Structure 1
Amino acid sequence: MTDSDPDVLVAGEALVDFLPDSTGPLSDVENFSRRAGGAPANVAVALARLDATPWFWTRVGDDPFGDHLAATLSSFGVPDRFVERDPEAKTALAFVSHDADADRAFTFYRDGTADTRVEPGGVPDETLESVEWVYVGGVMLAAEPGRSATLDLAERATERDCTVVFDPNARPELWERTDRDFSGLVAEMLEFADVVKATTEELQAAGFEGESPEALSKAVAETGPHTVLVTLGGSGAFVHATDRAPWGGGTASHGGYDVEPVDTTGAGDAFTAGALAALAEAERDEISLSEMLGFANAVAAVTTTGAGAMAALPTREAVREFRE
């Protein structure tokens, strides 16, 4: 390892999104555009765009779609050290449909795909000892052996004092045929998580009671995480931090930004990357929770103004200009 190596590790699925050329139900869409996607992949690229390039641990098929994902990640400057290729499984696909407000729904083709087949130990202990932050996504909990590999990674990261960031990223379709309950696995992951980012709907699906971001975030913090970020779509976001947080305790909210959305795919992932980048700075420079939310919401807002999750991710300079 060298001083220039990343201090963030992102772990999770990379897949290909097929974006519709029109709104309405998927059965009515005739044409799609291919885009690289997957929440963790989006987070990894967003961090690279924000000058915080991470390691990215994922697995894609040794097929044309895997070639596309590997090339796209490389084009954004994401190192390929932990981008595995699977000669025996296909790359995961997701077909996206949009309603009139650009909100999206997903139809996944992910049974036995390469991303589900990462195995425990894929990231060595020495790498975890060299990074300060580890992000994991909840989609990886839906199938084995990726589930065990993700839990193992989070546990080993915790043992090495990494700050573990967890995004439940609830996708109900992926849990219909699993042998484990979503809420139970989220609870298991929260034993290792320090920072959680989720929507109110995801937290409720995970079994937390409450309607308001305040009530839900407090309930999550009582299980172990010291910082809980609740995203509210076009209404912004809320954060609750306990006194155990390195940046200090407190709450803050931000109402978001008024933009004309083109595609909301990846907006939550952009927010996560913005928040992670800002929180890393907060440990050093005492950035307030309110300022962190403002920056993260700006990253997300700019992302919604273009098509495709990765293609629309902004640089720090673009975020600065947007906020001026």
Structure 2
Amino acid sequence: MKKIICIGEALIDFISIDKGKSLIETSGFMKKAGGAPANVAAAISKLGAEAYFCGTVGDDAFGLFLENTFKNNNINTEYMFKLKDKNTTFAFVSLMENGERDFEFSRSADECLSFDMIKDNLERFDLFHFGSATAFLGGELKETYYKAKEYALKNHKLISFDANYRDSLFGDKKELFINCSKDFIKDSHIVKLSDEEAFLISGEEDVEKAAKKIIALGCKFLIITLGKKGALLTTKEKQVLIKTKELKMKDATGAGDAFIGAVLVQVLNDKEKDMEEVVNMANLVGGITTTKVGALESIPSWEEVHEYIKKEL
């Protein structure tokens, strides 16, 4: 079975129980496992490849909860480290009526991953996925990100990058985010961005122009997700909009992570598979994920995806 390592943060999503209210207005929260790399690992596992989560959490009740949740979702936790002197990172999330989210982060353990913790046996992995929302903010995690990328390049591994920009995290550090993103885009086989991220990184206001500018940085495949419109696939040779079926959205959390997970599994399982078909199926996986609340538990298996397709025929 193909192996993918997903490097970055695992955290607790505290999701408001009062849908449509801001974090200021909410009266309470429910606890869910989260963190973009962990969500991607869950998608990869459900869709037929071997997923390793790589990151640091607190040696506390929340870190143990995450570890147990990952194991229950068949995510390998060999590269997940619980730190005694740090707390598990939290994200507080409020779901608005349209399914979009209001975020606040409380960062701690996730920034402490060092390359020495993970450098042994990296040759086992077929693909290195970089999709952390927090890695570019500093700490040992940032240095580890760059070292892991260099390892993957030198050893001819596939590299994927998902920017996962959060304005509440970067604020006045947008240039830092842009520059670090470009460092990873130029070396990646597959890049997935939202339209907001594409505009920010490229400086363009038109998505097709933004895509052309970004693909010129060096990546092979660029996928810009456009919400209900679908996804724009760009290579050096062509651009194509791959439309998606609009589903009734309850929660957008984890949809982008499910999408890129579906892309990576398909590419690893069949390197000759047409990327338009890959993105079309990933659109479905991401869309189905939005029909439930939460991240990990909302991601469908291929069986669920094919059941959905049968119902639509």
TM, length-normalised to structure 2: 0.93
- Which residue pairs with 1:98 in the alignment? 95
Identity of aligned residues (%): 28
**How big is the shift at 1:174?**
1.6
For 2:158, the aligned partner's letter is T
Q: Do the aligned partners of 1:209 and 1:219 also contact (CA within 8 Å) in 2?
A: no
Q: Do the aligned partners of 2:199 and 2:207 also contact (CA within 8 Å) in 1?
A: no
In structure 1, runs of 5+ residues without a counterpart are 243-248
Q: What is the rounded CA distance, in whole Å, between the counterparts of 1:236 and 1:252 in structure 2?
A: 11
For 1:167, the aligned partner's letter is D
1:311 aligns with 2:305: no
Q: Do the aligned partners of 2:22 and 2:102 also contact (CA within 8 Å) in 1?
A: no
Match of 1:211 among 205, 212, 215: 205
Match of 1:19 among 12, 15, 24: 15
SS in 2 for 1:181: helix
Q: Do the aligned partners of 1:166 and 1:196 also contact (CA within 8 Å) in 2?
A: yes
Q: What is the rounded CA distance, in whole Å, between the counterparts of 2:124 and 2:65 in structure 1?
A: 29
Q: What is the rounded CA distance, in whole Å, between the counterparts of 2:222 and 2:232 in structure 1?
A: 8
Q: Do the aligned partners of 1:61 and 1:85 also contact (CA within 8 Å) in 2?
A: yes
In structure 2, runs of 5+ residues without a counterpart are none
**How big is the shift at 1:179?**
11
- Which residue pairs with 1:246 in the alignment? none
**How big is the shift at 1:180?**
7.1
The residue correspondences of 1:118-133 to structure 2 (distance < 5 A) are: 118-124=113-119, 126-127=121-122, 129-133=123-127
**How big is the shift at 1:74?**
0.5
**How big is the shift at 1:297?**
0.6
Q: What is the rounded CA distance, in whole Å, between the counterparts of 1:197 and 1:105 in structure 2?
A: 22
- Which residue pairs with 2:262 in the alignment? 274
For 2:38, the aligned partner's letter is A
TM, length-normalised to structure 1: 0.90
Task: Quote the RMSD (CA, aligned, Å).
Answer: 1.7
Cα deviation 1:112-135 (Å, max 9, x = unaligned)? x111110123322532x2222110
**How big is the shift at 1:234?**
1.6
The residue correspondences of 1:40-119 to structure 2 (distance < 5 A) are: 40-110=37-107, 113-119=108-114
1:32 aligns with 2:29: yes
Q: What is the rounded CA distance, in whole Å, between the counterparts of 2:121 and 2:149 in structure 1?
A: 14
Q: What is the rounded CA distance, in whole Å, between the counterparts of 1:239 and 1:297 in structure 2?
A: 12
- Which residue pairs with 2:155 in the alignment? 160
- Which residue pairs with 2:226 in the alignment? 232
For 2:258, the aligned partner's letter is A
